[in-house]
A and B are shown apart, each in its own frame.
Chain A
Amino acid sequence: MDDFELTLKSGFLEEASGLLADAEQCFLNLESSAGDCSVLEQIFRLAHNLKGSAKAVGFEDLSHFTHQLESLLLKIKKNEIPINSASVDLLLRCNDHVRMMIDGLRADFNAKFESESLLSEIEAMLNGQMPAASEPDAHKTEEAPAADVHAPQFEIAVAPKEAKPAASAQPPSSGGAHAEESIRVSFARLERLLNFVGEMVILQTVLREQATKVDSHTLNRTVDQLGKVTKEVQDISMSLRMVPIKQTFQKMQRIVRDTARALNKEIHFEISGEETEVDKTLLEKIGDPLVHMVRNAVDHGIENAERRAASGKPSTGHIRLSAYHRSGSLIIEVQDDGAGLDAAVLQKKAIEKGIIRPETKLSDKEAHQLIFAPGFSTKAVVTDVSGRGVGMDVVKTNITQLQGEIQIETTIGKGSCFRIILPLTLAIIDSMIIRCAKELFVIPLNHVHESLKPRPEDLHFTTLGEILMLRGENIPLFRLGEVIGLTPPSRRPADGIAIVVRTQSQPFAVLVDDIIGQQQVVIKTLGQEIRHLKGFSGSSILGNGRPALILELHELVIRHQGSNRRAAA
Chain B
Amino acid sequence: MSINEMNQLKAVDGTRYLVFSLGDGDYAIPLLGVREVIAFTETTPLPFSPPYFVGIMNLRGQVISIMDLRKKFNVKPRENAETAVIICDLGDISLGVVVDSVNSVLSADSKDIAEKPEFTSGDKADFVTGVYNKNSKLTLIVDIARALSLDDKATISKTGAKAA
Contacts and interface: CB of A to CB of B under 8 A. Distances in A.
Interface in B50-80: 53, 56-58, 60-65
Contacts of A559: 160-161, 164
A205 to B, nearest CB: 14
Contact of A533 (B63, B156, B164): B156
Contact of B44 (A528, A533, A548, A560): A548
A203 to B, nearest CB: 9
Nearest to A437: B45
A195 to B, nearest CB: 4
Query: For the complex, would chain A's binding face be called helix, strand, loop or mixed by DSSP majority?
Result: mixed
Given A439-B45, A527-B93, A533-B160, A547 B61 contact: no
B95 to A, nearest CB: 7
B163 interface: yes
A190 to B, nearest CB: 13
A268 interface: no
A524 B64 CA distance: 10
Secondary structure of the B side of the interface?
Answer: mixed
A530 B61 contact: no
Given A196-B60, A196-B61, A533-B48, A527 B164 contact: no
B152 interface: yes
B61 A198 contact: yes
A21 to B, nearest CB: 13
A530 B44 contact: no
B92 interface: yes
A534 B63 contact: no
A488 B116 CA distance: 44
Nearest to B164: A485
Given A483-B164, A547-B44, A563-B161, A530 B62 contact: no
Contacts of B60: 195-196, 199
B56 A539 contact: yes
B56 A547 contact: yes
B164 A484 contact: yes
A527 B90 CA distance: 11
Contacts of A535: 47-48
A164 interface: no
A545 interface: yes
Contact of A560 (B153, B162, B164): B164
A526 B94 CA distance: 10
Contacts of B43: 546
A229 interface: no
B47 A486 contact: yes
B47 A539 contact: no
A419 to B, nearest CB: 34
B47 A527 contact: no
B63 A539 contact: yes
A484 B46 CA distance: 9
B49 interface: yes
B58 A529 contact: no
Interface string A498-541: 00000000000000000000000000111111101111100101
A563 B95 contact: no
A101 interface: no
Contact of B62 (A195, A439, A483, A529): A195
Given A439-B45, A533-B48, A549-B56, 18 more contacts: A194-B61, A195-B61, A198-B61, A484-B48, A485-B47, A486-B47, A527-B93, A528-B92, A530-B53, A533-B156, A533-B160, A535-B47, A535-B48, A539-B44, A541-B61, A547-B57, A559-B160, A562-B161
Interface of B: 42-49, 53, 56-58, 60-65, 92-95, 148, 152-153, 156-157, 160-164
